[in-house]
């Protein structure tokens, strides 16, 4: 059986599974559509949270970012993992105890203001739409290679699949679909990593293989990689290249952005009890760790294999002839995501750090997907990775679209525009809102502002500067009032958006289909790191505005006390 047919069968089987689950778990009420009827088992919710969390950025793009960025990109691992711990400890149990459907609903009730609720909806949609661009980018990359279609065509196919199971099943269908998607993506990620680790180091555990000796040199794998990169003019893999300030702010931005992302937060609304929210957070961390401990090894080993492809004789002075390039290079060239330009006319592939002399351009988003082909693994592994990449992208896209849909239908239409709407009408409006969100996300995914992981990092910055401070102050401070919360969210979001637009130069360049970029405007702080500064501005503005205006009503202060301080144990808090 040829590779294309095998890819089609494996990917098609997983898609059929997802749609079948959605039909089986079809939402019949708003409670099932928004929160899966609050009946999801903690272990299953942990697995679904893992799939929701490990997006295209984690599965497809993160290893590529690490492969080419080395030490500096460890911030992705620290920020995303640390942020999840922050979410599990400081937010999830308290928000579940509050017992509402959405993040804007909590903010609206806690700050006794429909304006606050509306501003929270705006913040949520802004961050979620930016995030979903990265997922749709990943879908397009995976489809373009493995089903041999244009990136835009892949986007449309992925959007159609998400539409079928997310619009039909709502949170209930999405939850059980994400359980299946987690199983697919984690198997697809770890099996190739095990094979490659065995090939390069003889160690079957990739996290340990990363620090083992490379078979080719007898030296530690990272030492071998550093030596090759030095010979080609690249910076050492283990050397810090970014400023400490930017790395610190970037890590903080990812951490608090993680804790402020609504599509992960709402997962904790689906369990029966507060104790189940804590339990599912623990399980989710276990499931997430399986991939995040493997990713650094995948990145380093992929970069080593990439260099060995271009310089197969073990010496960087003898590059491969272009005509002798392996099949995997030919396959990815057809997608436009890997390019060769013979600048000196010698017919050899020169892969060097000098941009004027480098002839080999590799898109970072292809590294994980191309890994099995680079390492010459069996065809079924290649097909499995294709299915895993699509599962990662689609699972998170569905969660984000669910958050957007809930915000529009429940927090705008039901809460403010038409409070008398029937449950059937609200359910219909939620499905229509999700359909519109899918269409917008697909259009934006056609022109992403960066690699999948970079685009997602911008979304984390927006969530960090707007939603996270409001949630933290709403839970842990009785003094922050509605005026302070609204002013803080607008200030944090506004300043961060302005910085991103000015830094990234987010406008189309005439005659191209890309975005310009610029140097950091403030010290060494890049656009992806500015969310932490935006969060500080949010906190400061909310504090000073609240201090200069009236205290929240007594019943609101009692509400904060009820959320934050346990009243006994067991059934007393498990409602």
Question: pLDDT category, 448, cuts 50, 70, 90?
Answer: low
Return contacts of 334-342, CB within 8 angstroms, 24+ apart.
334/148, 335/141, 335/144, 335/145, 335/151, 335/366, 336/144, 336/151, 337/141, 337/144, 337/145, 337/362, 337/363, 337/365, 337/366, 338/362, 338/363, 338/366, 338/370
Q: Rounded CA gap, 403 and 551, in Å?
A: 31
pLDDT at 572: 40
pLDDT at 331: 85
**Count of alpha carbons within 13 Å of 493, Cβ hemisphere only?**
22
Half-sphere exposure of 135 (CA within 13 A, CB side): 30
The pLDDT mean for the chain works out to: 84
- Quick one: how many helices (H) and strands (E) in the chain? 25, 2
569 Rama class: left (phi>0) / alpha (psi -120 to 50) / beta: beta
Among candidates 533, 536, 532, 554, which has minimal Cα distance to 473? 536
Please say if the pLDDT value at position 328 is more than 80. yes
CA atoms of 158 and 220, how far apart (whole Å): 41
Whether pLDDT at 133 is above 60: yes
- What integer is the mean pLDDT of 247-264? 86
- Asked if 22 and 164 touch (Cβ cutoff 8 Å), the reply is yes
Over 70: is that where the pLDDT of 564 sits? yes
Using the predicted structure, report yes or no on whether residue 360 has a pLDDT greater than 60.
yes
Q: What is the mean pLDDT of residues 86-107?
A: 80
Q: What class does CATH assign to 3-298+377-466?
A: mainly alpha
Task: Output the six-digit token pair for 258.
Answer: 């993680």
Torsion of Cα atoms, 336 then 155 then 499 then 110, to 10°: -160
Torsion of CA 93, 98, 101, 106, to 10 degrees: -110
pLDDT of residue 509: 39
Tell me: pLDDT of 404 over 70. yes
Environment class of residue 417 by beta-carbon count within 10 Å: exposed (0-12), middle (13-18) or buried (19+)? exposed
Measured between its terminal Cα atoms, the distance across the chain in Å is 54
How much of the chain, in percent, has pLDDT values that exceed 70? 92
Q: What DSSP string describes 9-58?
A: HHHHHHHHHHHHHHHHT---SHHHHHHGGG---HHHHHHHHHHHHS-HII
409, two tokens = 């239908």
The label of the residue with tokens 């293989």 reads 209
CA atoms in the 13 A half-sphere facing the CB of 420:
0
pLDDT of 15 reads 83
Distances from the Cα of 253 to the Cα of 114, 297, 484, 528, 539, angstroms: 28, 24, 22, 8, 14
The segment(s) of the chain belonging to CATH 1.20.1730.10 are 3-298+377-466
- Rounded to an integer, what distance in angstroms lies between the CA atom of residue 212 and that of residue 200? 9
Residue 319 is encoded by which pair of tokens? 């590059």
Whether residue 386 is predicted with pLDDT greater than 90 in this model: the reply is no
Q: Could you tell me which residue, 477 or 366, shows the higher pLDDT?
A: 477
- Which pLDDT tens digit goes with each residue over 301-327? 999 999 998 998 778 888 999 999 998
For the cut 50, the answer to whether the pLDDT of residue 405 exceeds it is yes
256 touches 77 (CB < 8 A): no
**Tokens 């020169």 — which residue?**
350
**Between residues 567 and 425, the one the model is more confident about:** 425
pLDDT band at residue 212 using 50, 70 and 90 as cut-offs: very high
- Between 201 and 280, the higher pLDDT residue: 201
Which helix (H) or strand (E) segment holds residue 525: the answer is: none
**Residue that has been written with the tokens 């102050």 in this structure:** 473
Nearest in space to 132 (alpha carbons), one of 18, 253, 12, 263: 263
Q: Coil, helix or strand for 553?
A: coil
For residue 233, name the pLDDT band (cuts at 50, 70, 90): very high
> DSSP assignment of 422-440, as one string?
-HHHHHHHHHHHHHHHHHH
Mean per-residue pLDDT, 26-32: 74
Helix (H/G/I), strand (E/B), else coil: 339 = strand
Quick check: helix, strand or coil at residue 522? strand
- Whole-angstrom distance, CA of residue 34 vs CA of residue 57: 25
Structural contact between residues 76 and 242, judged by C-beta atoms closer than 8 angstroms: no
Residue 570 pLDDT grade (very low, low, confident, very high; cuts 50, 70, 90): very low
pLDDT in tens, 174-205: 888 888 888 988 998 999 999 999 999 999 99
Nearest Cα to Cα of residue 168 among 16, 17, 51, 23: 23
pLDDT of 164 higher than 90: no
pLDDT at 571: 42
pLDDT band at 506 (very low <50, low <70, confident <90, very high): very low
Evaluate if residue 377 carries a pLDDT over 90: no
pLDDT at 517: 43
pLDDT tens-digit map of 266-277: 787 788 887 788
Q: What is the pLDDT of residue 550?
A: 94
d(CA 309, CA 367): 13
What pairs with residue 321 in β-bridges? 348
What is the average pLDDT across 98-105?
Answer: 78
pLDDT higher at 522 or 556? 556
Query: Does the structure show a pLDDT above 80 at 349?
Result: yes
């Amino acid at each position: 059986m040829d590779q294309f047919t095998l890819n089609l069968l494996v990917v098609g089987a997983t898609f059929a599974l997802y749609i079948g689950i959605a039909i089986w778990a079809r939402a019949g009420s708003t409670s099932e559509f928004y929160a899966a009827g609050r009946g999801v088992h903690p272990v299953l919710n942990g697995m679904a949270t893992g799939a929701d969390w490990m997006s295209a950025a984690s599965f497809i793009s993160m290893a590529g970012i690490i492969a080419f960025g080395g030490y500096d990109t460890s911030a992705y691992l620290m920020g995303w993992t640390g942020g999840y711990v922050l979410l599990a400890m400081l937010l999830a149990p308290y928000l579940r105890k509050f017992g509402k459907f959405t993040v804007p609903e909590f903010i609206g009730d806690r700050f006794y203001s429909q304006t606050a609720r509306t501003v929270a909806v705006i913040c949520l949609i802004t961050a979620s739409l930016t995030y979903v661009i990265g997922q749709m980018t990943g879908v397009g990359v995976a489809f373009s290679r493995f089903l041999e279609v244009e990136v835009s065509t892949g986007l449309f196919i992925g959007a159609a699949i998400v539409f079928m199971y997310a619009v039909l099943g709502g949170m209930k269908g999405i939850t059980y679909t994400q359980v299946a998607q987690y199983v697919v993506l984690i198997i697809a990620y770890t099996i190739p990593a095990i094979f490659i680790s065995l090939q390069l180091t003889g160690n079957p555990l990739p996290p340990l293989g990363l620090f083992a000796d490379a078979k080719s040199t007898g030296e530690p794998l990272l030492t071998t990689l550093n030596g090759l990169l030095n010979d080609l003019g690249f910076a050492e893999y283990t050397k810090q290249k970014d400023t400490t300030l930017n790395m610190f702010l970037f890590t903080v931005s990812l951490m608090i952005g993680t804790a402020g992302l609504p599509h992960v937060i709402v997962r904790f609304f689906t369990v029966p009890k507060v104790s189940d929210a804590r339990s599912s957070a623990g399980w989710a961390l276990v499931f997430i760790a399986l991939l995040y401990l493997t990713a650094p090894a995948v990145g380093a080993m992929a970069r080593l294999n990439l260099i060995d492809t271009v310089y197969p004789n073990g010496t960087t002075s003898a590059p491969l002839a272009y005509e002798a390039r392996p099949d995997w290079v030919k396959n990815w060239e057809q997608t436009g995501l890997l390019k060769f330009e013979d600048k000196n006319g010698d017919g050899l592939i020169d892969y060097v750090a000098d941009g004027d002399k480098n002839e080999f351009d590799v898109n970072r988003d292809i590294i994980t997907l191309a890994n099995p082909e680079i390492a010459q693994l069996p065809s079924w592994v290649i097909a499995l990775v294709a299915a895993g990449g699509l599962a990662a992208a689609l699972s998170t896209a569905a969660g984000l679209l669910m958050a957007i849909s809930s915000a529009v239908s429940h927090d705008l239409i039901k809460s403010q525009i038409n409070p008398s709407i029937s449950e059937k009408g609200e359910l219909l409006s939620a499905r229509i809102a999700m359909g519109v969100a899918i269409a917008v996300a697909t259009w934006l995914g056609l022109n992403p502002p960066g690699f999948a992981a970079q685009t997602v990092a911008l979304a984390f910055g927006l969530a960090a500067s707007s939603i996270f401070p409001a949630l933290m102050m709403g839970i842990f401070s009785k003094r922050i009032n509605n005026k302070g919360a609204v002013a803080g969210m607008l200030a944090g979001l506004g300043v961060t958006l302005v910085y991103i637009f000015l830094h990234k130069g987010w406008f189309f360049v005439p005659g191209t289909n890309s975005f310009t970029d610029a140097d950091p405007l403030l010290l060494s702080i890049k656009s992806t790191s500015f969310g932490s500064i935006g969060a500080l501005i949010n906190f400061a503005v909310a504090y000073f505005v609240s201090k200069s205006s009236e205290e929240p009503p007594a019943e609101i202060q009692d509400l904060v006390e009820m959320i934050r301080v346990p009243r006994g144990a067991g059934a007393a808090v498990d409602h």
